A and B are shown apart, each in its own frame.
Chain A
């Protein structure tokens, strides 16, 4: 892993198009600002990992004959 030191207010430029700025520090919390193009998704790692894992578990290669039965909705969804 590349490790660089930055002061508050200083930034990194990645690939000429992504800017990562140290905005401020509060104890062991570091506030980071990220400017990235719209096609570069930015996620907190633990949230990304959890959703990615869930997606992997959810992908089926055999559709079940029966699906879970949901309770009737409280409001009438179908006329």
Chain B
């Protein structure tokens, strides 16, 4: 088992548009093998995982450490081997955000997207410690203003 640490600093190093391949697709979207990871300064810390064939289709993603600073992503041996992760530092981790009209947005902390930052091969995994996290974890509200 491997526990991925906070990598939010390394996310900023990734390029504005980076292709990521998902050999298994995402859960429920098994046919979607390729996405483009998009970051723009005005949308930080959010990013988009966009379907290349249809730029309208995209998942909003966010580093889980922006929401839960002590997030513990325990990744199974099988998933780490599949992704070719040799050390936790090889992994980028993003979680899918769901925007809900009239309701707080949520983030899926149970099934994060883990990407090998060297190969840019990704997989949506179910954490070994999935029981500790919710699929629909509310995003914290900004109460500073």
A→B interface (CB under 8 Å)? 38-39, 41, 43-44, 47-48, 50-64, 67-75, 77
When the two chains form their complex, are residues A68 and B98 in contact, meaning their CB atoms are under 8 A apart? no
When the two chains form their complex, are residues B144 and A61 in contact, meaning their CB atoms are under 8 A apart? no
Determine how close the nearest CB of chain A comes to the CB of B13; give it in whole angstroms.
13
A-contact 0/1 string along B115-145, CB 8 Å cutoff: 0000000001010001000011001111110
Contact of B58 among A43, A50, A51, A59 (CB under 8 A): A59
If over half of A's interface residues share one DSSP class (helix, strand or loop), that class is named, otherwise mixed; here it is loop
Q: Tell me, in angstroms, the Cα distance from A56 to B140 when the chains sit together.
A: 22
When the two chains form their complex, are residues A71 and B141 in contact, meaning their CB atoms are under 8 A apart? yes
Contact of A68 among B26, B69, B139 (CB under 8 A): B139
When the two chains form their complex, are residues B45 and A58 in contact, meaning their CB atoms are under 8 A apart? no
When the two chains form their complex, are residues A69 and B96 in contact, meaning their CB atoms are under 8 A apart? no
